[in-house]
């Protein structure tokens, strides 16, 4: 089923929260369990999954007992969505780790006498205090 033109769609574009809600529903087999895991309400999870179904024009989950089952299309989407939501969940931690490893570049410009005679002690102290520091000297 082809997607309607953007201006004709009465709902919003795909969001990370919709994908996260769907992934948790797929993983846990229940909208209520997904709501509890994500600390959202059951109606919120339901609306987000329904919005995904509208976006893709396909049924992704079907009711089953006290939970739900994924359709064939739902299983395929869950396969694609799970790594995306896991990567998004770890984004801040990974960013902080990379930022902590990043080098700090400092360029010092001055006459040769200052660089050779006045700076060595200060440079040694700075490098001990900040091991990520990368120094460059310009005359």
Give the pLDDT band of residue 100 (cuts 50, 70, 90).
confident
pLDDT at 50 > cutoff 60: yes
**pLDDT mean over 39-58:** 95
Task: Give CA–CA dist 99/95, Å, rounded.
Answer: 6
**How much of the chain is in helix, strand and coil states, percent to nearest 5?**
60, 15, 25
The structure tokens 């990520």 sit at 132
**pLDDT mean over 54-80:** 94
| Distance of alpha carbon 28 from the chain centroid | 21
Give the pLDDT band of residue 53 (cuts 50, 70, 90).
very high
| Of the candidate ranges 53-62, 69-78, 88-97, 99-108, the one whose mean pLDDT is the lowest | 99-108
Most confident region among 62-66, 70-74, 99-103 by mean pLDDT: 70-74
The better pLDDT of the pair 81, 11 is held by: 81
**pLDDT mean over 32-46:** 96
Give the pLDDT band of residue 128 (cuts 50, 70, 90).
confident
Tell me how long the chain is. 139
Say what angle helices 16-28 and 31-38 make with each other, to 10 degrees. Answer: 120
Secondary structure class of 128 (helix, strand, coil): helix
Strand partners, 137: 108
Average pLDDT, the chain: 88
């Amino acid at each position: 089923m082809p997607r309607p033109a953007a201006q004709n769609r009465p709902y919003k574009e795909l969001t990370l929260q919709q994908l996260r809600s769907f992934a948790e529903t797929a993983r846990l087999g229940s909208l209520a369990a997904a709501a509890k895991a994500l600390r959202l309400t059951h109606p919120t999870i339901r609306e987000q999954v329904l919005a995904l179904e509208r976006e893709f024009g396909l049924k992704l989950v079907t009711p089953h007992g006290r939970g739900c089952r994924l359709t064939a299309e739902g299983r395929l989407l869950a396969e694609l969505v799970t790594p995306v939501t896991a990567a998004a969940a770890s984004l801040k931690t990974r960013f902080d780790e990379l930022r902590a490893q990043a080098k700090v570049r400092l360029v010092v410009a001055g006459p040769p006498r200052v660089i050779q005679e006045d700076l060595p002690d200060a440079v040694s102290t700075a490098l001990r205090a900040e091991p990520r520091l990368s120094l460059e000297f310009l005359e």
